[in-house]
Chain A
Amino acid sequence: MTEIKRRDFLVGSILVAGLTGLPWSRALGEANHLKHATNNYASAYTDKTEKHFIALVDGHGNRGVQFPLASRGHSSCMSRDGRYMAFFARRPGTWLKIIEINTGELLASISTSKNRHFYGHGAFSHDNAYLYAAENDYENGRGVIAVYSIKQGFKRIKEISSHGIGPHEIGLLNDGSTLVVANGGIHTHPHYGRQKLNLASMASNLSYIDLTKGELIEQLSPPHPQISLRHFAITHDNTVVLGAQYQGNAKDDQPLVFMHKLMTKQNKYAPPRLSALLGHAPRARAKLRQYIASVCVSRDGKMAVTSSPKGDLVSIWDLSRATWLADVSVPDVGGLASHKFNKHFILSSGDGSFYWLDPSRLTLQRVFQNSDLSWDNHLVSV
């Protein structure tokens, strides 16, 4: 894509997003030809009176089942058999909600063990027997991965080390036995809310853990100690695409999007480091304001999108060439999900909007807005 096309896309997107006053009824009408999403999504949201909820929604942001929460939610994960959705409290929350998808019922409300809190992310095992959750052993300042047995009614049966501090997003490679953990490296303690207690000495890493033994397979550090690896998405061929948050000086120019593929029998030439995705000029990168909130990959694994609510931007990345493609302006964007049946990405925003982004045709359309609520950081396909 040439520079001119990139610029055109940005300007076009702004026009579509209504920042120049395009009537939304028209945008909605234009969206209809895309066919309604038939799959559902899960997201936390907060209303204008600051009450918190989790909801299952359709691709247009219409809420179906929803449950009130005691505190803000963060992200969720679904079991491979499509039976359960696990929804996690935002750090330093201690609740976990299990929803049965078929009935839409709240199956269980679970609390972490003493001296632990959730980080907002988890993953189900491929055999649907276990739920893994990123947790903080805050008295000892170490990250753990808790294992909950589904057969035992989501009982917490053990924990293993996350091999770092502040485990955030976790996920499984397609072998089902390798757990990927983004250890953000930042020490927090629930007595101090969300205050970062070790910025001077923080050390983030990406860890691959053998779940059968709990042992570290490989660990990679970002190029600067104050780059905090937080979120990632995994393609069908096990490429991990990571989004980071830089904790140093706001004027520094640091890469925030990386990719990595673990060396295996099938992949013998993996570089022993994280590869920063290229093509984002320093000036464009500065607009991200050192902050990536979510990462999502396309179903064919060729593209990724990252959201930056601080910069009001979604960036589109070409994974086959490991390079930046385009930026699109979306106010307060957080959640990203890929559509099950087409190449669209669905975006959710703190201003109550849902958007559909077609990365191939480079179109963005707002399909829903309710200014009485704010969609939270993550949107997950159910």
Chain B
Amino acid sequence: MSAIKYLLALISCLACSLSIASTSSEYRVLESAGPHIIKLHSHLSSEASGLEDASQVFCSEQSDEHYSQLTRSWKRTMLAWQRILAINFGPIDERNSAWRFQFWPDPINLVQRKFKSRVSGRNKATDSESLSKASVAIQGLSALEYLIFDESIHIKDLYRENEQLCALLQNTAKNLAEQAGVLHSAWRDDYSIRWLKRPADGSEDLVYKRRLESLHSGIVMSLGAVKKAKLAKALGYNVDAKAHRNPWMLESWRSRSSLENINVNLKSALALYQIDFGLSAYLLSQSNRFRSIDQRIKDAFLKAIKLSEPGSQSAFDQLHTDNVERLENLYVAVSNLYLLLKNNYTKSARIQFRFNAHDGD
């Protein structure tokens, strides 16, 4: 009898250790990604606060130096936002707040249209509360890009003449900084705990894997956004036969920083892929025979990153002058990377990229 008991205990122990082993590689990815993601959100919050400060300094004295500080601060904040493009789960999804950071794509220039009445002074609602409740088009980084870079604003002169512009600039920056702070706190104080929380019903294998899948799909979807929204439309790759190249379809065309955004998207996705125990390590933990696919993914990342390094000519100018070979090559490189991660990685790592769950209707 005692021998049977011993045998049962041994089987139970083995099953338990196998379960922990299978859980642990998923859990290790979550454990590794969590602090990295919090750091990215902290950086965004800090840059957005800096942008709020820069807007106040510029409005106190519209000098060349202060304008230059303001533009640099906007670009840094935009890049901090681009770094979390792949983190499309957790607080940003739960609060449905991505649009408060960036209203884009904007093919009919709704930002300018919606700002028109406020810039002209016909609409006096420029306090932060009114702006936070206003159209999605006049909030966040897209709105600030318009207020800081748009040629129609004739920046410094107009700000000198129009006090309302400064109210718009400062309050939009203030709302953005608040949103970034809320997002950072939500990750740091709440979601990072839920991210690692063991489910009470003993379903941790499934739950941890599902969370890992959300990290993977966030990366895939961010690459999909680079491919489809950031490059294909501007290059005129559309099912519509009438589509043509259009530099105004680029993201951040006003600040001519489209390529910088893409470059940071790719670098940030790669960082998530190969962070301490990231998706790369997870794949290799499944089997050493996946070294080749892992290397192909890393090589594809590096190729796309190299092609997206900003050079002397912005993407806007490249499209304007029909010098598009590099952008076309970048599109091919990102497409290849996207499919490698979406199909090959999922098959090898035995995880799922959900179709209906991500973009249903």
A residues near B (Cβ < 8 Å) are 19, 46, 48-49, 70-71, 74, 90-91, 120, 168, 191-195, 197, 199-200, 230, 247-251, 291, 293, 309-310, 312, 331-334, 349-351, 371, 374-377
Contact = CB atoms under 8 A, between A and B. Distances in A.
A19 B339 contact: no
A247 B94 CA distance: 9
B147 interface: no
B356 A377 contact: yes
7 contacts: A91-B361, A168-B361, A250-B93, A310-B360, A350-B354, A376-B355, A377-B360
B343 interface: yes
Contacts, number: 77
B95 interface: yes
B206 interface: yes
B133 interface: yes
B357 A230 contact: no
Contact of B133 (A90, A200, A230): A200
Q: Is the interface of A mostly helix, strand, loop or mixed?
A: loop
Contact of B206 (A19, A349, A375): A19
B360 A309 contact: yes
A49 B342 CA distance: 10
Contacts of A230: 361
Contacts of B352: 331-332, 351
B298 to A, nearest CB: 21
Contacts of A334: 355-356, 360
B136 A332 contact: no
Given A332-B352, A350-B356, 15 more contacts: A91-B361, A191-B110, A192-B107, A230-B361, A250-B95, A251-B94, A291-B360, A293-B356, A309-B355, A312-B210, A334-B355, A350-B355, A374-B355, A374-B356, A375-B356
B354 A332 contact: yes
Contact of B354 (A71, A91, A120, A309): A309
Q: Is the interface of B mostly helix, strand, loop or mixed?
A: loop
Contacts of B105: 192-193
Nearest to B227: A50
Given A120-B361, A251-B94, A48 B355 contact: no
B239 A70 contact: yes
Nearest to A230: B361
A46 B356 CA distance: 11
Contacts of B237: none
A310 B106 CA distance: 28
Contacts of A49: 339
A214 B146 CA distance: 44
Contacts of A199: 96
Interface string B100-113: 00000111101000
A310 B96 contact: no
A125 B342 CA distance: 42
A309 B339 contact: no
A74 B361 contact: yes
A83 B108 CA distance: 42
The 9 A-B pairs at the shortest CB distance, nearest first, are namely: A350-B355, A250-B94, A309-B356, A374-B355, A334-B356, A309-B357, A350-B356, A70-B239, A332-B354
B347 interface: yes
Contacts of B93: 250
Contact of A332 (B107, B133, B343, B356): B356
Interface in B206-264: 206, 210, 239
Contacts of A293: 356, 360-361
Interface in B307-349: 339, 342-343, 347
Contacts of A377: 356, 360-361
B21 to A, nearest CB: 16
Interface in B108-146: 108, 110, 133, 136
